[in-house]
Amino acid sequence: MISKLVHRIKRAVAPRAAVLMYHRIGYSESDAWQLTVNPDFFEQHLQTLKNNYKVLSLDTLIKKHKYNTLPHRSIAITFDDGYIDNYTIALPLLSKYNLPATFFIPTGSINDQKEFWWDELEYIFLNKPQLPQFFTALTISSSQSFDLENETFLSTEIKQRHHVWNGNQPPATRRAALYIMVWKALKEMSHADRENALARIKQWAGLQQPNYRSEYTTGDTRLMLQAADTGLITIGGHTVTHPALSGLSLEEQYAEIALGKSALEQVLSRPVQHFAYPYGDTSPATQAIVSKIGFTSALTTHPSTITASSNPFALSRFQVNNWNASEFSTNIRNWLKYN
């Protein structure tokens, strides 16, 4: 009984840090995976962090973790995927408050001017005004087609349901149910198979010509270099094609991780030391590869704080949602207190 009490006390007073994970700063009609924070809320987040916490660069946090000198109430800010708004909206606000951040970049998307596959899927199923009644582009269940029934036309009611729904909840509509089924199928595919499948889906949906939304594209080499040169932004690795690594062979994992690292280092002319697992998908074997390749840390999407006992190649992060200042403050306090 006493030993448990002592353990709880030690845990309560032990220094801990929280790594925050953002994706997009902007606006969206729907946000199945809660990847978008509007700019006003993001600025409120930065004000809260500036006034109440010790915001560290990821480099500093990792070094302090290594030497067991993590300060109380310390925070690191990270962004995944390299969306264009990271450079055009987030970076000016980070500069305004002089707060450092790390951008994790999948190198296959640099200079690509395309949307990520999950964003294209979300537009097709949740936001496209008209779809065929029967989905036949892929076999995704025991039947050969999926019937959208009376949801071929995107009504105002359906659109509103999509606006407030997220993919961790039961599907709000037939369209949402189909989206989840197809998303799960494509997530497990190889990059080449996924591109072929996406092409068939776009053909089924009547999208014959590329119609990429500029706000969902990624930053280019020039923007990445400018961000790195500010001294506030650290660039981290995020593979080449953003695969679920555990579904690949060890050789394929090595290639994705190593080629992503070397491509970034060639552009930046500096070492790339930190890595983020796409989808947070990792395993001990993957972590060993990341270490062997020469990264000094790797981050997951598991929501927990960083403590002295945290594995540097499986560090946790908290996803930040589209919260106002009060909601954000409450979540930060709870994370640092209980996790």
Does residue 109 sit in the same domain as residue 238? yes
Question: What digits encode the pLDDT tens for the residues 260-288?
Answer: 999 999 999 999 999 999 999 999 999 99
Confidence of residue 12 (pLDDT cuts 50, 70, 90): low
Q: For residues 76 and 17, state if they share a domain.
A: yes
Cα 153 from Cα 175, distance rounded (Å): 10
* Angle (nearest 5°) at CA 176 between 172 and 177: 95
Domain range for residue 250? 2-113+234-262+272-338
- pLDDT attached to residue 138: 84
- Please state the pTM of the whole predicted model: 0.93
C-alpha–C-alpha distance, residues 337 and 333, integer Å: 6
CA distance 309 to 143: 48
Mean pLDDT of the chain: 93
pLDDT given for residue 11 in this prediction: 53
Angle at 102 between CA 100 and CA 106, to 5 degrees: 160
- 148-193 pLDDT, tens digit per residue, is 999 999 999 999 999 999 999 999 999 999 999 999 999 999 999 9
* 167 and 195 both lie in a single domain: yes
| Residue 29 φ/ψ region, left for φ over 0, alpha for ψ in the -120 to 50 degree band, beta for the rest | alpha
154 and 89 share a domain?
A: no
| 66 lies in the same domain as 126 | no
Query: What pLDDT does 145 receive?
Result: 79
25, 99: one domain: yes
Question: What is the total count of domains within the chain?
Answer: 2
Residue 85 has pLDDT above 90, yes or no: yes
Residue 7 confidence (pLDDT): 45
277 Rama class: left (phi>0) / alpha (psi -120 to 50) / beta: beta
Please indicate, yes or no, whether residues 98 and 162 belong to a single structural domain of this protein. Answer: no
pLDDT band at 209 (very low <50, low <70, confident <90, very high): confident
In this structure, are 253 and 302 located in the same domain?
yes
* pLDDT for residue 6 is more than 50: no
